Each structure stands twice: as structure tokens, then as C-alpha cells.
Structure 1
Amino acid sequence: MEELLVKYVRNECSPEEEQWVIGWLQNPDNESRLRGLMRKQWSNPSVAGVESPDWQRMWAGIARQTKDLPLEPEPPLYRTVWRQIARIAIWVGCIIIFGLSIRFLREAQLPADVIYQSGADQYMRVELTDHSAVILNKNSKLRVSSDWSGPNRSIWLDGEAVVLVAEQPIGYRLQIHTADHVVTEAQKARIYVNYQHNKVRVVVEQGQANFVIYFSGMLGEMKKYALKPGGMAEYDEKSTQLVRRQVKPQLYTFWARNE
């Protein structure tokens, strides 16, 4: 930068260099640096035979040239606001894209979900990695998510089962997906779950659970119903009708007693 200032004082700069120097000197943040160069010049005389710029004369010349330069008009307030909004939107978009990329990359590295299918004349007991267990009735299918690292551990049921939910860490839940928009979640419970012919039936035998319905056409609206021992919830996907009442859980779980 010092060499360019020397060229400017000697009128040896090209038009582009001259405009760059003037712009640099108009920046108040650079004034202290220029004054430092001037103090350096005054305290360290030039070596004999070496031409050095006269910083005091240069400062006076710069003051004369920049005095008459028109000030750059400030942009209207609405432009400044919209520029800030655009910058924020770009940053938010980049963060979202980065997060989605990490998620997709992670999911691509996960193994496939595990599927269990009980036979026409046999029950099946499936042990989960969190020490929970699922007892499948005949002709039932269970899909277990391979990703159990987060707070929501997910399984999908098609048929009839009794789910023994082991005690979960604080903030963690086991989610039992049945219909397209119905999830039963619990932290420690014994639950009867039946999903057949687009109808869901959930009965809590021990502990407590939440029966959650997601409405796809209502801006992601969600309704959650707490179920305690003896509480039953029945939901029809086609009619979207929900029925809740108290029952005897043993009438629904008797078949799984010896499993």
C-alpha cells in the first residue's frame, strides 16, 4: 500500500489505481494507518540517495482532492431493510440445506429397517434394542427403525400386538405408528395395539400413553389424547371418527399372557 501511495503523490498512478487510492483514503478507518506512515517518515529520515515521499505534502494534496468529491448518497431505508432480509433469508436457506444434507447423508449410511412377520398359526416375540418387546399375534407385521439414536424410537405395526415399553430415558419415547396419521407414544407401559382395515384400536393395560392424531390437511394440526390404565381409543381413518372409553384390558391382551 505504501508503494501505491508513493506513486499517487508522484502522479504515476493509472486512473484505476488513482480511484482505488482515493477510495481507500476516504475510508475513516484508514486514517490512523496513514498517520502512522507519516509519523514513521518524520521520525526516520530517508537514507541518502533514496528518494522518499513528502507525506505532509501528500496529506495536504489528498485533503484538497477529496474535499470536492461528491459524497455517495445513502440508499433509501427500505432498500437497506430488504437487503438485510435477503441476507438473513440466504443464511437461513443455507443452514436448512446444510442440515438436510447431513440428515440425508446419515440416513443413507444407516442399514435398512428390520421387518418381522408372524405366521398364520404362530405368535412372535420381538426384542428391541432399548429392552422393550413386541408380541405379535398371528398374521401381523412389525417394522423396526434402524435409527435409534434420537429421542423418538419408532416402530410400525400392521396387525395386532402387545407392546411392552421399557422405561425410556428422560425425554425419550417409543412411538408406535399404525394408521397414516396415528401414533401411540409411551415411556413405560404395556399397551395393546390393533391396526386392521384402516381402523386403529389402542388399550393401555399398564402405565400411560398418548394417542396422537395428525391431520394432514389442516396446517399440520395435531391432537393428543392421554390414556391411562383401562383407557381405550378407537380411530377410523375413513370417517375420521374417534371413540374413547374405559374397558377391561385383559379382554384384549389375554392371548399374549404366555408369550
Structure 2
Amino acid sequence: MNYLSFEPEDFALDAFFCRWVLEPDPETEAFWLDWLRNNPYKSKDIEMARQLVLLASSEDGVPPSSAAIDRMWEKIESGRQPKILPLGKAKFWMKLAAAVAFLIVAFGGYFYKKVRNQTYRTAYGESRRVLLPDGSLVTLNANSRLRISDDWGQPREREVWLTGEAFFYVSKMKRDGRPVKFTVHTQDLNIEVRGTQFNVNTRKDQTHVALSEGSVHLYLNEKGREKEIRMKPGDLVNFSSKSQKLSMCHVPDVSPVYSWKNNRWTLNDTSLEDITALIQETYGVTVTIADDSLRLKKVTGIVPTDDMEDLLDALESILPVTITRQQDDVTINTR
């Protein structure tokens, strides 16, 4: 079962999930606790799904209070059996369907209003996961900004503006039976999707797009006319509005492009000069290569990025260099 694509109502209508919430046993607890550890960004969806299930299992059909939900959760975590309706009864599933409709109507509008005029930012050395009200997940890299459109939730489309770098997991959405497009705007181009996974990097006055899954339509202005580029999984596109140069290639695996999501960089014959640029953009420090002969030294491998000191130590172990740091100044010299 691909639970990553589930919305709260999908979880709530899943028998295995309901069993965990209402009749926990070692099998369900082990699975769901491990799943949440691996997918922490889905915690809000899981919590809403739990409320749906608890609402359906209540005797009066009234949405449970926060205190009641917490008490129920404590019972589940301690292994004690809460008072429930048997999962096999049709009454339970009818109430659950009604609960799904109730919470979507009651809370859906609130979530869409809340996101208006919202801007998310990350500091140097910080990454952040942002769960949008349509279920889309955005992971912001360090020193990045994501702005949500003022009319988010209107029927025509979902729009965001990105500066920096982010990985998008876009949920499919329909209004009146029609797909609602999701558009990412950068300084160079517009990226239009319906439901897909892709990485966007807008640093160095350029926009890089790497498509992991689904399909993407890029729209850019080229000499006064709009040009469309259609991407398929594995495609990499780089465009600079300054030079008006476009490059596109296909690779078997694009995951190294967004390995930063997991606090690491996957380097493949990457020059030390390019690595120092990444360090400056990510951590906000000044990096000086004292010996020019080191600039073209290549690095292949995986290095940690959750802590800059660990990253610098890893580079020292790979290259014949000595790296010193004084506050925000980093110097790389020959060993």
C-alpha cells in the first residue's frame, strides 16, 4: 500500500489504519510508529485521520474534544483498549464516511484561509518541511523563501513563488471534476504541474529543475515569446534569463540532485570551487581557497550537511587539504 499518496480521509477509510487507532496490537503499532518516524511530514494528516476515526467510533457522533482525543491516544499508546464499535459493523463505516464529510466541510475552509499571505523562510544551515492545505509537501533548503498566492484555494490554480531551493511533492487536486494545476514561479520561468515530484534550485541567477516523478511543463520568455518545455522523469533543465541559455539532459537517477533533503550532498566529480559555492549559499559563510591549484580538485562521494563542522571534516578526510574556520570565515589550504 502506497500510504505516501494518502490524504487524511484515505487513511481514515483504511481498515489497517483504523485497526491501529481503535484496536492496536503489536503488528499495527510497530508498522505505524515506524512509518511515522520515516515520514514525519505526514503527522498532521495522521492526526486528522485519527480524529475522523475517533469521531466515527463515538456513540453520539459529536466531534471529540482535544482533551478526549489526547486521553484516547494515551490509552492507545499504553496498550489499553478504548471503548469502540466493532470495525466489522456497517454502522461504523457509515459514520466514518459522514465524519469525513463533516471535517472536510468544517475545517477545509479554515485551512485555505489560514494559508493566505503566507511566506515561509529558512535561515542559513536550516531546512524546513511545509505542508500545504492541499496535501502538497514542500521541503525548503537553507536560505530559501516560499510565498503562497493570496488567492490560494480559488478554483483555477494553486500558485507559489520560490527563491532558493525546494523539493515539491505535489498532490493531485480536482475541482468540479477538473484537475487544478499547481504553478511554481521563479525569476526565470514558471513550472506547471498537476501532481508530481521535482526539485527546483534558483541560485546563481539561474533556475535548475530536476523531475523525479510525473510530468512538468516549463514556460519561459525567450526573446519576447513564451516557450514551453515538457519534462519527463529523469530530465534536468537549466535556464538563465541573464544569458538566455537553456540546457536539458536526461539521467537514469535524479535523486542525487535533491539528496540535500536527507542532510547530505551527493557529489559526482564536483570541483572544490563548486563545493565552496554550495557552502557559502547554504551556511552564509565566506570560503577562501588559499591555493588556486585546489580549485579544480574533484570530489566524488556522499558528505553530511546537517552540521557544517562535520561537512568540513569530511572534506578534509577526502582531499589533501587543511580547513580552518574563524567565525564566519573558512579558509582551505594545501595540507
TM-score interval w.r.t. the shorter chain?
Answer: 0.5 to 0.7
- 1:209 has 2:216 as partner: yes
Alpha carbons of 1:143 and 1:257: their partners in 2 closer, same or farther (altered >3 Å)?
same
Structure 1: runs of 5+ lacking an equivalent: 1-109
1:228 equivalent in structure 2: 232
SS at match of 2:259: helix
Please, which of 158, 161, 167 is the counterpart of residue 162 of structure 1?
A: 167
- 1:118 has 2:122 as partner: yes
1:22 equivalent in structure 2: none
Deviation at 1:133, TM superposition (A): 1.3
CA contact (8 A) 2:115 2:133 kept: no
Please, which of 191, 207, 212 is the counterpart of residue 184 of structure 1?
A: 191
SS at match of 1:253: helix
SS at match of 1:196: coil
1:172 equivalent in structure 2: 180
Deviation at 1:215, TM superposition (A): 4.2
Where does structure 1 differ by over 6 angstroms across 4 or more consecutive aligned residues?
none
* Equivalent residue runs for 1:63-142 within 5 Å: 113-142=117-146
How far apart are the structure 2 equivalents of 1:111 and 1:160?
20
SS at match of 1:130: coil
Alpha carbons of 1:216 and 1:150: their partners in 2 closer, same or farther (altered >3 Å)?
farther
Give, as a single letter, the amino acid of the residue that structure 2 aligns with 1:161: A
How far apart are the structure 1 equivalents of 2:157 and 2:205?
24
SS at match of 2:190: strand
* Equivalent residue runs for 1:28-67 within 5 Å: none
1:200 equivalent in structure 2: 207
1:243 equivalent in structure 2: 247
2:259 equivalent in structure 1: 254
SS at match of 2:246: strand
Deviation at 1:166, TM superposition (A): 0.5
Deviation at 1:197, TM superposition (A): 2.5
Deviations 1:132-182 (A, max 9, x none): 111001111111113120322100000011011001223311000011x51
Deviations 1:201-256 (A, max 9, x none): 001001111111134734xxx21111111011110111111111112311111121
1:53 equivalent in structure 2: none
Task: Report the TM-score, using the length of structure 1 for normalisation.
Answer: 0.53
Percentage of identical aligned residues: 28
Give, as a single letter, the amino acid of the residue that structure 1 aligns with 2:117: D
SS at match of 2:238: strand
CA contact (8 A) 1:151 1:171 kept: no
Root mean square deviation, CA, Å = 2.4
CA contact (8 A) 1:164 1:189 kept: yes
How far apart are the structure 2 equivalents of 1:154 and 1:131?
14
How far apart are the structure 1 equivalents of 2:218 and 2:236?
9
Give, as a single letter, the amino acid of the residue that structure 2 aligns with 1:173: K
How far apart are the structure 2 equivalents of 1:189 and 1:183?
15
Give, as a single letter, the amino acid of the residue that structure 1 aligns with 2:123: G
Task: Report the TM-score, using the length of structure 2 for normalisation.
Answer: 0.41
Deviations 1:32-66 (A, max 9, x none): xxxxxxxxxxxxxxxxxxxxxxxxxxxxxxxxxxx
How many residues align? The count is 147
